Amino acid sequence: MEIKRGTVIFRHWDEQDGLNEIARGFKTLEELFNLCLQSDNRLLVERVIIDGEDDAGSQRALTLVFQSVTIQDTASSSGD
């Protein structure tokens, strides 16, 4: 088994262009960690794709999909 590379797909909303996807590659877990924790709050992690080979030498891809939500505290926003 061997991991070859990975890609993080970010979503970004822009008033002019709408919803866009931006891909950034990584080769180590540290690079993945840094990409996911970057300070650019406009980029939301959408998917992480890890490419590699299984024990038989066949190409494999593992895709982890994330969903972002915004939760608004209705008690504090109602003015009460």
Ranges of each domain in the chain: 2-68
User: In the prediction, which pLDDT does 22 show?
Assistant: 92
Token digits of residue 16: 């002019």
65/62 Cα distance (integer angstroms): 10
Is residue 25 within 8 Å of 6, Cβ to Cβ? yes
In this prediction, residue 78 carries a pLDDT of 53
Q: What are φ and ψ of residue 39, in 5° steps?
A: -85, 0
The per-residue pLDDT for range 40-75, each reduced to its tens digit, is: 777 888 999 999 999 999 999 999 998 766 666 666
Query: In the structure encoding, which two tokens stand for residue 25, read together?
Result: 């590659």
Average confidence score pLDDT of the chain: 86
